[in-house]
Structure 1
Amino acid sequence: MTPAPPSGLFDGGVHRFPVRIYFDDTDLSGIVYHANYLRFMERARSDMLRVAGIDQRATMEAGEGVYAVASLEIAYKRPAKLDDVLIVESVVSRVRAAATEIRQSILREGELITQAVVTAALVAPDGRPIRQPAAWRNLFEKLMTQVKGDHAG
């Protein structure tokens, strides 16, 4: 039996995606190379969309658009090292007509390693921003509501 590829899951409105650190993720000092955190976050965002039911590939192949990072703010807090198991948490924090803001944290056993705020815009094949489908915006807004509901006191 072929094992299933790694996948994340939703816990309320929070998407959690597992990442194990391999040798090729590290630099000569044995810690994760800074740009690789961006790769881990990209994988988590793509997985979040897939698990939520958004088929990016079909949208791209139909020529209807793709998501592109419009802005990124990142802070590195602690180093991750070879064989660490990390969890990338992704939370939708803002939805606009053509873009969605996602806050991402990378954790090791609950300890914050890296955090970022990413704005992904839906762009047409010619690179111009286009409106996200209403069903997608509704889904993102529902996820935001679930996170707020989880943290209501």
Structure 2
Amino acid sequence: MTDFAVAIRVYYEDTDFSGVVYHARYLHFFERGRTEALRACGVRHCELLQRAEPLVFAVRKMTVEWLAPARIDDLIEVRTRFVETRGARFLLEQEIRREGRLLARADVEAACMNRDGRPRRLPADVAGRLAARVRDETSRARSTGD
């Protein structure tokens, strides 16, 4: 399921009193994964903010399933796959793994909007980069049987 992966170390600040990652911290890990996946596509938040009409991305909907705990000092991998782009939105699937074991997964719908919070179509260059990732991942999945 990998379109893009980033390794993240679990620090003390990410855990509860027992050394297990606090459930809300997974949202931070997923955010880092999305940001790095976008960066790998050539889409940078700072450049979106510098456009004539500054644009931002916001999570519109997210479904998370926690399957096993991550613990202090674990090296986890956040995997992000672009699934679909349409209008102002794009869909992603994300996973958090430790040594290959699935710990958590999320389905994410993100939206493009201006600074006033009004939806805006993905700019053509951004939509093109994300759509290329969707096509690449779809082609790879078909060829490998994933």
Q: How high is the TM-score relative to the length of structure 1?
A: 0.88
Tell me the SS of whatever aligns to 1:34. Answer: coil
Question: Per-residue deviation at 1:60?
Answer: 1.4
AA matched with 2:26: Y
AA matched with 1:123: M
AA matched with 1:86: I
Give yes or no for contact 2:6–2:77 (8 Å, CA) kept in 1.
Answer: yes
AA matched with 1:59: L
Question: Per-residue deviation at 1:46?
Answer: 0.8
Corresponding residue for 1:17?
6
In structure 2, list runs of 5 or more residues that go unmatched.
none
Q: Deviations over 1:60-84 (max 9, x none)?
A: 1444210011111000000000111
Moved over 6 A (4+): none
Corresponding residue for 2:79?
89
Equivalent pairs counted in the alignment come to 142
Question: Per-residue deviation at 1:55?
Answer: 2.2
What is the aligned-residue RMSD (CA, Å)?
1.5
Corresponding residue for 2:37?
48
Q: Does 1:57 align with 2:46?
A: yes
AA matched with 2:35: S
**Identity percentage of aligned residues:** 34
Corresponding residue for 1:77?
67
Tell me the SS of whatever aligns to 1:151. Answer: helix
Instruction: Give 1:71-150 correspondences, 5 Å limit.
Output: 71-150=61-140
Distance 2:140 2:9 in 1: 28
Question: Per-residue deviation at 1:149?
Answer: 1.7
Distance 2:50 2:22 in 1: 32
The structure 2 residue matched to 1:34, chosen from 12, 17, 23, is: 23
Distance 1:56 1:42 in 2: 12
Tell me the SS of whatever aligns to 1:113. Answer: strand
Tell me the SS of whatever aligns to 1:42. Answer: helix
Q: How high is the TM-score relative to the length of structure 2?
A: 0.92
Question: Per-residue deviation at 1:26?
Answer: 0.5
AA matched with 1:98: A
